[in-house]
Amino acid sequence: MFKPFPLFRFRSHRSMAFAALACAFPAGHLLHAANSPTPRQETKPADNPLLSESTLPYQMPPFDKIKSEHFSPAYGVALAEHLEEVEAIAESKEEPTFENTILALEKSGVTLTRVGNIFSNLAGAHTNPVLQKTESEMAPKLAAHEDAIRLNTALFARIQKLYDQRAQLGLDAESAYLLERYYKDFVRAGAKLSEPDKEKLKKMNAELASLQTKFSQDVLKEKNAAGVLVNGKAELAGMSENDIAAAASAAKADKKEGKFLIALQNTSGQPALSSLQNRALRERIMKASLARNSHGGEFDTRETVLKIARLRAEQAALLGYANHATYQLEDQTARNIETVNKLLGELAPPAVANAHKEAADIQAVIDRENGNFKLGSWDWSLYAEKVLKERYAFDESELKPYLEINHVQQDGVFFAAGQVYGLTFKERKDLPVYQEDVTVFEVYDADGQPLALFLSDMYARPSKRGGAWMNEYVSQSDLFANKPVVANHLNIPKPPAGEPTLLTFDEVITMFHEFGHALHGMFSHVRYPRFSGTNVPRDFVEFPSQVNEMWAVWPQVLKNYAKHYQTGEPMPQELLDKMLASRKFDQGFKTTEYLAATLLDQAWHQLKPNEIPTDVLAFEAEALKKAGVDFPAVPPRYRTAYFSHAFAGGYSAGYYSYIWSEVLDADTVQWIKQHGGMTRENGDRFRQTLLSRGGSEDPLQQFKNFTGGEPNIAPLLDRRGLTGDAKPASAPQDIPPEKPKS
């Protein structure tokens, strides 16, 4: 799950807008500090729908009443209200108790939670200049707000006292874990620093918040500006008529009627490269993609990257850690950089070796066709398709007529959820949405009781950040009796009006993946909002969603949704068999491009302050070479300059999470297959032991509760075609003793 970078996600210790910050709570006695974002005297305007609880089902936001101009004043009111609530907690004369301190903090900031959730989601899914201006203005103010809370000496003293007495408090397991998490969050945020060091940290956090917001916005602007303009249709030979029509529509929207605009996605590789016959155009597209944000101009992010890297390294040092990665990993299931480096070090050599073998196969096809050129990164997708066709007599484009978007969602994603968990779905056309392409479904549990609302936002648009993600508008909690409102966002190119949306199989997998995150949010059954849904360590959050991908290729599910969009005929068994047989194809490329980005993330964030380079591109090249993944034909999935996961806040030193989670995923999928496969019994077990628990208990214990054993890396190696002499030493159970902070 790649969530866009919310300015503020109250209580989410995975908040992407603030580096090195955990859950967010106010700081009473600092209310009138110089950086205090909002004066107390603001009052609630009666006409601002953000400042009162929604009367719609499930408290769904009233999008038809919300205007972009509402957010700035709403933030002002919500921040002041939140600070007042916490001031009362911090300055209370009563002895601290769980109820008057921890529970009171958990109940505070309801208005700010609502405003922050709606704003951060819209800023990612459907932004505009007003929202971007608000985003830039609020980022440092919200960072100051969080600092005012967790650097509040009086507030932390109350938490510290309760933590020291925790064995005598008689708390139930979830409450005890909540107290423990509050204490750790405050300590990691700098609560034990001296007052001068707290002031240094505040300045760092405010600057980082602004820089990360700037990086995020510049990546989006450059992506929209970097589309490749094509003068004539003849240059587009190989593209489908639908894709050509979409390129014509994009050019027309950009006031270049009669031409064709190939929009870029956020990754290094671009979809058009798999079909375009014109090699010069392929090269233009790839080079434009790789050069984004690093070729000069107003959206160049290189200076921003260096500032972010330096500030994060300095911040880590101030907090007593060797580097930013050490700080980040301490609070993840991986625990330390040694474990992550070991895993990546074991995976990279076989992945690169496989990629070179695949490159040799591709070069052989080029030579047979008298191409007279050496394989370039812009050639890989097109010629890999030819190798695929030769090896498996399979052309992936043959799949698309059987993968119409509504069939995939209704008869695939929803059908699987019905088979595994007993869920049913009803579209709600009576509820307002923020953009016409968004659809809303009410989700009913196996017993027929309402469970959640699910928003589906599938199409790409200039106002939407790249990637795919899930987020929550309302999080489940027993404390507030809230049922969840969750959303999935993809970036599928929208075809011209009247044409069907036909997916690639990768897009099908992504749809199942993101719905796995949605299930994590919808099945949440915890008391405290702090633990709701996907509020788990970042390197665990991808695991349940990756497990949900298995149903995309489960025969019972595949046969239900893979039907021709015109005739309704099921996908021929022969084509289906070829597709399944080819699933390990090109895994060397896919694993290497992912690992290259992951290793870049670690290289930047394992630096000390005095090791920050001056040349972003030179450092990137050296880091890839040192890691053994500098293979020009396979560029990193994200280069540094547009690596939003790493430099807009959310996955800094954490992009490894996908492969780490896949260790758990592959092991879990094997367990499910060995225990009957697609059964309600297995679904209920997964829901009860893991999906419903959120962050309310140790995540690896949740895994063990489901599988009954320790994680094993072997199923992952087999899945990715990396089997050989690799040993299971880098599985998550092999965590070396933690070293002292330096």
Claim: this prediction has a pTM higher than 0.75: yes
**Selection from 522, 494, 378, 516 nearest residue 436 by Cα:** 494
Percent share of the chain, pLDDT over 70: 91
pLDDT in tens, 391-418: 988 888 899 999 999 999 999 999 999 9
The mean pLDDT of 612-617, rounded to a whole number, is 98
Contact 463, 2 (CB under 8 A): no
Q: What is the pLDDT of residues 295-304, one digit of tens each?
A: 999 999 999 9
Concatenating the DSSP letter of every residue in 249-292 gives: HHHHHTT-TTSEEEPPPSSSS-GGGGT---HHHHHHHHHHHHTT
Cα gap 28→149, rounded to integer Å: 7
Q: What does the block give as tokens for 713? A: 């890396």
Average pLDDT over residues 235-263: 94
Q: Angle formed by the axes of helices 173-188 and 153-164, to 10°?
A: 140
Share the mean pLDDT of the chain: 90
> Does residue 638 surpass a pLDDT of 90?
yes
| pLDDT (0 to 100) of residue 101 | 98
Q: Does the pLDDT value for residue 731 go beyond 80?
A: no
**The pLDDT of residue 24 is above 90:** no
Dihedral Cα 229, 233, 235, 238, nearest 10 deg: 110
Confidence of residue 1 (pLDDT cuts 50, 70, 90): low
Contact between 665 and 500 under an 8 Å Cβ cutoff? The reply is: no
Residue at token pair 């040694």: 338
Round to whole Å and give the CA distance between 227 and 246. 13
What is the rounded CA–CA span in Å between residue 107 and residue 116?
16
Q: What percent of the chain has pLDDT over 90?
A: 85
If residue 514 lies in a helix (H) or strand (E), which one and from where to where? helix 505-522
Residue 44's pLDDT is 53
In angstroms, the CA 358 to CA 585 distance is 9
**Pick the catalytic residue: 85, 514, 542, 549?**
514
> Is-catalytic flag, 330?
no
**DSSP secondary-structure letter at 235?**
G
Tokens of 406: 């509504």
pLDDT at 21 over 80: no
Residues 6+ apart with CB under 8 A from 131: 68, 71, 119, 122, 123
Q: How confident is the model at residue 721 (pLDDT cuts 50, 70, 90)?
A: confident
Which one-letter DSSP state was computed for residue 691? I
* Amino acid in the structure at residue 260: F
Task: Note the pLDDT of residue 714.
Answer: 87
Give the architecture (CATH level 2) of 400-570: Orthogonal Bundle (1.10)
Q: Of 515, 512, 524, nearest to 475 (Cα)?
A: 524
Contact 704, 582 (CB under 8 A): no
Q: Which of 282, 297, 717, 244 is nearest to 499 (CA)?
A: 244
Residues of the chain with CATH 1.10.1370.40: 28-220, 400-570
Alpha-carbon distance 82 to 88, whole Å? 10
Region of poorest pLDDT, from 144-158, 572-586, 629-643 = 572-586
Q: 512 Cβ partners below 8 Å, 6+ apart?
A: 412, 413, 416, 548, 549, 551, 552
* 202 pLDDT higher than 50: yes
Q: Choose among 324, 94, 307, 100: nearest CA to 206.
A: 307
For residues 597-602, give the mean pLDDT: 98
What sign does the CA torsion over 261, 264, 269, 274 have?
A: negative
Rounded to an integer, what is the distance from CA 261 to the centroid of its chain?
28
Torsion sign across C-alpha atoms 365, 366, 371, 372: negative
pLDDT at 397: 86
> 584: which DSSP letter?
T
- What's the distance, CA 195 to chain centroid? 35
Helix H or strand E segment including 474 = strand 469-474
Question: Is 160 exposed, middle or buried (CB count within 10 Å of its CB: 0-12, 13-18, 19+)?
Answer: middle
Asked whether 372 and 261 are in contact (CB, 8 A), the reply is no
Lowest mean pLDDT among 264-268, 297-301, 444-448, 622-626: 264-268
Distance separating alpha carbons of residues 22 and 156, to the nearest angstrom: 14
Q: Does 525 have pLDDT greater than 60?
A: yes
Q: Which whole number is the average pLDDT over 299-315?
A: 98
* Contact yes or no for 487/447 (Cβ under 8 A): no
Give the per-residue pLDDT at 566: 96
pLDDT band per the 50, 70, 90 thresholds, residue 36:
very low
Lookup: tokens for 502? 């036909």
* pLDDT category of residue 38 using cuts at 50, 70 and 90: very low
Q: Beta-carbon neighbour count of residue 69 at 10 Å?
A: 12
CATH of 28-220 among 1.10.1370.40, 1.10.286.10, 3.20.20.20, 1.20.1260.10: 1.10.1370.40
Distance CA 318, CA 613 (A): 20
CA distance readout (Å), 322 to 606, 737, 742? 8, 16, 5
pLDDT at 580: 85
pLDDT of residue 45: 63
Side-chain-side CA neighbours of residue 172 (13 Å):
6
Residue 623 has pLDDT above 60, yes or no: yes
All residues at 6 or more sequence positions from 277 whose CB lies less than 8 Å from its CB, including other chains: 237, 238, 382
Q: Which residue has the tokens 């001056």?
A: 614
H-helix or E-strand spanning residue 67: none
**Residue type (1 letter), 159:** I
DSSP letter assigned to residue 70: G
The confidence band for 588, taking pLDDT boundaries of 50, 70 and 90, is very high
Q: Mean pLDDT lowest for which of 182-196, 420-434, 598-612, 656-670?
A: 656-670
pLDDT range class, residue 111, cuts 50, 70, 90 = very high
| Per-residue model confidence (pLDDT) at position 539 | 92
Contact 35, 206 (CB under 8 A): yes
What is the CATH number assigned to the segment(s) 293-369+582-678+710-742?
Answer: 1.10.1370.10
CA–centroid distance for 126 within its chain = 17
Q: Which part of the chain has CATH 1.10.1370.10?
A: 293-369+582-678+710-742
Is the pLDDT at 677 greater than 80, yes or no? yes
Can you give the pLDDT at residue 16?
Answer: 29
Query: Would you say 731 and 713 are in contact if contact means Cβ atoms under 8 Å apart?
Result: yes
